[in-house]
Structures are given as structure tokens and as C-alpha cells.
Copies of this chain bind each other. A is one copy, B any other.
Amino acid sequence: MNEFELIRRLTQSLPTNETVVAGAGDDCALLDLGVPGRLILFKTDAVVEGVHFTRETPPEKIGRKALARCLSDIAAMAGTPTAALVTLALPRSFEADFVAGIYAGLTALAERFQVAIVGGETTTNPERILISIALLGMVDKGKQVLRSGARAGDAIFVTGELGGSLAGKHLDFEPRIVEARWLAEHFHLHAMLDLSDGLAGDLRHILRAGKVGAELLKSALPVSRAAKLRARGLAEAGQPVPREPAHGRKPAVLAALTDGEDFELLFTVASREAVKLLDAWKKKFPALKLTCIGKIVAGDGIVLRDKNGGQKLGVPGYEHFQD
């Protein structure tokens, strides 16, 4: 049994009560605590030294990332973040300036999104820094977007560009709070999540939840410059050349499909809304790319189409592509 199987087993029969609208399994838990016209969003997320950042990462960016990941989950439900608690687990020999830097990055981002930081616990974790954020948010009843509503025929959209996030974007990404709220206000989104484990893996969450499949158009995938550079063994100016994967350079399309930490929105809408949505988006958010990358189909799994036909993606998504 691997970790994911275990957690799936454990979270299948968790205690519930009358406040729970949606529990484990979506980007946030969804609670009805009696706020007229609104539901509460509830989420935690942790970042760990050596996994999500290193000792060399500037502390401001560590703090920023810890909160931004949670904000991205609130965005994925089309919600508005409200208040956060910070749990800081630190080695005993921490440097005060380093911790102050973590808080500086965290609070700067919180202020930008009008999120209150309502408490800060510290505890000991002798070997490495761990930061866990608990975040509350709100969403108007009926405006929340779950992972489960995709229907055959839907157009699949993604914001921004994909792949290569570890070259730098994972520390600086913008949680798509404003964009997601605008989308949910003006269009009937069927399903949405934020990309954290890579397009192919995260799209499967939507497909399984909706009992549908997807066809992606290879040429439509918005591949990031970082992923393209890495495929050629290069790096962005000012960034270190990333370590090569075990079997050589990673093709850019594969990076766009499987790299984690994109933190872009992935959502589906009825295909008849697709053109109107793209037009309205370009006027509202001219600086941020929005791409229709394919469609939801009956069946299951993901087929990647190019001029030579379709290729079914295996579950891990690690096929060997040529660009």
C-alpha cells in the first residue's frame, strides 16, 4: 500500500456532521456554518525544507509560498480567503532573521489579498523547517466550483503556462483568486482545480470525479519558457540550470503535462460558452494567457492528439515524447 492508497482508505470513512457540504477529496472542505448565503472554505497545506524549498531559498519566498499554495486552493473553489493560522516547526537553533523573513513574505502576500493572520504557533522540528498554513475562506452559495461537475462535450481551459515551475515560478506564482472569482461570477464553470501535481495527474482528478475522459490537443498546450529552455539544457537568465532528470532532458510537452507546482487554474465549461469566455477573458485579463487545451469526452483517461492521431496517456503520464 502506498501513501496515497493509505490516505484514500483512511479518509473514506471520516466522522462527519450536519455542517459538512463537502469533506476530504476536493481542493478545500466546504462547510455550512450558518452564514446567510455563504459557505465556508477550510484548507491546510504544509511546506517542508528539502521537499518544497531549501535552506538556500530566501526566507521571504518560503513564507510567501507557504501561504500562496493555500490561497491557490481557495481560488480553485472560486472562493475568497479570509483568515489564516501559521504553524512554524523549527530546529532549536533557528536564526531570528530567517524566521522574521518567513513572516515578512507571508504577511506581504496576506495583505495583498486582505487575509488576516490570526495566530502563529511555533513548535520544534529538530532537523528541518516545516510550515503548515490553515486557511479559511468564503464563497457565495451556488458559486463554489467542485472537481466533480465535468460533462462530455465541455471545453477544458487552463490559465498561464505549464511546466518548469521548479526553475523559479514555484516561489513566485500568483494565486488565481481574482481570476477564479471573476470566472465563477460570469460563467457556469462545471469543474475546477488548481494544478499542483501536473496537468495529466490533476486532470485525472476531474475525470474520475465526473466519470468522464478527456482529449488534449498537443499543439495547444501552453508550454512555459522555462520548460522549453530546460528541454534544451538551458536556464532562464539569473536562474541555475536545473538538474537533469535521470534519463536526460525532459521534453517540453512532457514537462507541461507532468511537472508539478504550476498553480494555474484548470477548469471546464460547456463548449458553447468557450468562445464568449475567451473573448471576455482577453478584455479582463489581457496579461494572463487562457488556453483551451481540449475537451471532455465520454469514457475515461486522457488521449493526447497531434497530427499523427491520438495516444492514450498511461496513468503516471511519463511517456517519452519527442517535441
Q: Which residues of A contact B (CB under 8 A)?
A: 1, 3, 6-7, 9-11, 14-17, 19-20, 23-25, 28-29, 31, 33-36, 38, 40, 42-48, 50-51, 82-83, 85, 87, 89-90, 94, 96, 99-100, 103, 107, 110-111, 114-128, 130, 132, 134, 136, 138
Contact = CB atoms under 8 A, between A and B. Distances in A.
Among A19, A85, A103, A124, max chain B CB count under 10 A is at A85
A121 B45 contact: yes
A9 B107 CA distance: 14
Given A11-B117, A34-B38, A42-B83, 6 more contacts: A19-B116, A20-B118, A24-B118, A29-B85, A127-B127, A132-B132
Contacts of A50: 126
Contacts of A118: 14, 16, 20, 23-24, 29, 31, 42
B134 A46 contact: no
Contacts of A107: 14-15
Contact of A36 (B34, B48, B114): B34
A25 B85 CA distance: 12
B1 A119 contact: no
A271 B35 CA distance: 38
A100 B46 contact: no
| Nearest 8 pairs of A and B residues by beta carbon | A29-B118, A134-B134, A14-B117, A23-B118, A127-B127, A24-B119, A132-B132, A44-B85
Contact of A11 (B45, B120, B132, B138): B120
Given A1-B96, A132-B87, A123 B20 contact: no
A83 B19 contact: yes
A85 B20 CA distance: 12
A28 B126 CA distance: 26
A89 B48 contact: yes
Contacts of A134: 42, 44, 85, 134
Contacts of A138: 33
